[in-house]
């Protein structure tokens, strides 16, 4: 399983990186189980940025103007725009944390070799994203009781 580093490089929105990690680890396991053709990199770094920073990255590496939701680099870096996630969540009547989880899984799927440039590829990626995010569900963080840390609990949504 890859190591995971989470880096918050924005100040627009407070992030719960502990909760995000509690989701991210089982998400990496699910992607590794589902897609075996291309193994995930040994190290995955997720960087949370502002729209301004994302716009610069988008322009520099993809020659496109404006911010985007997520950009994945094949060496294992996933860049996520926090402001875009917040806007999308409001526009889609979704939650901010769900958008962040979708973007992360989207990046993982790219690292595992999936592509969304064709209609068929896009359809497959959306279906895989939803399956993984729904399968893991809402995640609670470890709780410390009397100095002992209890394991992370995973709550699955009812279907």
The rounded percent of the chain whose pLDDT value lies above 70 is 86
What value does the mean pLDDT take over residues 26-50? Answer: 95
Are 70 and 79 spatial neighbours (Cβ–Cβ below 8 Å)?
A: yes
Task: Supply the pTM of this predicted model.
Answer: 0.86
155 pLDDT more than 50: no
Record: fold of 3-155: Collagenase (Catalytic Domain) (3.40.390)
Per-residue pLDDT of 47-105, as tens digits, reads: 999 999 999 999 999 999 999 999 999 999 999 999 999 999 999 999 999 999 999 99
Contacts of 105 (CB under 8 A, 6+ apart): 27, 31, 128, 129, 132, 133
Task: Please state the three-class secondary structure of the chain as a single string.
Answer: CCEEEEEECCCCCCCCHHHHHHHHHHHHHHHHHHCCCCCCCCEEEEEEECHHHHHHHHHHHHCCCCCCCEEEECCCEEEEEHHHHHHHHHHCCCCHHHHHHHHHHHHHHHHCCCCCCCHHHHHHHHHHHHHHHHHHCEECCCCEECCEECCCCEECCCC
Sign for the CA dihedral angle at 66, 67, 72, 75 comes to positive
Per-residue pLDDT of 9-23, as tens digits, reads: 999 999 999 999 999
Q: Please report, for the chain, the start and end positions of each structural domain, with discontinuous segments joined by +.
A: 3-155
116 strand-pairing partners: none
């Amino acid at each position: 399983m890859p190591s995971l580093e989470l880096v918050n490089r924005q100040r627009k929105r407070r992030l719960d990186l502990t909760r995000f990690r509690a989701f991210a680890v089982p998400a990496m396991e699910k992607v590794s189980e589902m897609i075996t053709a291309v193994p995930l990199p040994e190290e995955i770094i997720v960087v949370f940025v502002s729209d301004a920073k994302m716009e610069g990255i988008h322009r520099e590496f993809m020659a496109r103007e404006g911010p985007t939701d997520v950009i994945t680099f094949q060496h294992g870096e996933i860049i996520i725009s926090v402001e875009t996630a917040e806007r999308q969540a409001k526009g889609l009547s979704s939650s901010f944390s769900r958008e962040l989880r979708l973007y992360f899984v989207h990046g993982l799927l790219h690292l595992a070799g999936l592509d969304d440039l064709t209609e068929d590829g896009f359809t497959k990626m959306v279906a895989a994203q939803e399956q993984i995010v729904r399968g893991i569900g809402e995640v609670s963080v470890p709780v410390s009781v009397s100095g002992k840390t209890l394991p992370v609990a995973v709550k699955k949504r009812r279907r």
